[in-house]
């Protein structure tokens, strides 16, 4: 498959190029995610890149397809199925 955009270097404003399903827990994502997206509706508790590990943000009643406005270092809890946006 030809990818017209493959020569563009990844940046904060370019779309993601890889992703993975997240298992919430007490460890940081590796690599840090450009953002996360909910694949199902539900709740998500996360730690943005610049926050201390215990400084979580909780988002409730999210719809499927919600994209987080933060770069994410950790997802500590989720009732939604969540995937990373990377690259």
pLDDT band at 77 (very low <50, low <70, confident <90, very high): very high
- Whether 63 has a pLDDT exceeding 70, the answer reads yes
Q: 51 lies in which domain range?
A: 35-85
Q: pLDDT at residue 69 above 80?
A: yes
DSSP structure class, residue 22: -
Is residue 20 assigned to a domain? no
Six-digit token string for 51:
């926050």
Tell me what percent of the residues of the chain surpass a pLDDT of 70.
92
Domain count, the chain: 1
What pLDDT shows up at residue 26? Answer: 95
- Determine, yes or no, domain membership for 14: no
Say if 23 falls within a structural domain.
no
User: Considering the entire predicted model, what is its pTM?
Assistant: 0.87
Residue 12 within a domain:
no
Query: Are 45 and 75 within 8 A, CB to CB?
Result: yes
Locate 41 and state its tokens. Answer: 């509706």
Q: Report how far residue 46's alpha carbon sits from residue 62's, in angstroms, rounded to the nearest whole number.
A: 13
Q: What is the mean pLDDT of residues 26-35?
A: 93
């Amino acid at each position: 498959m030809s990818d017209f955009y493959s020569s563009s270097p990844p940046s904060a404003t370019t779309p993601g190029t890889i992703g993975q399903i997240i298992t919430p827990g007490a460890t940081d994502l590796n690599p840090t995610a450009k953002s996360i997206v909910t694949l199902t509706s539900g709740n998500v508790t996360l730690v943005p890149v610049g926050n201390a590990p215990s400084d979580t943000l909780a988002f409730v009643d999210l719809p499927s397809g919600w994209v987080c406005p933060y770069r994410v270092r950790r997802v500590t809890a989720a009732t939604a199925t969540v995937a990373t946006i990377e690259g």
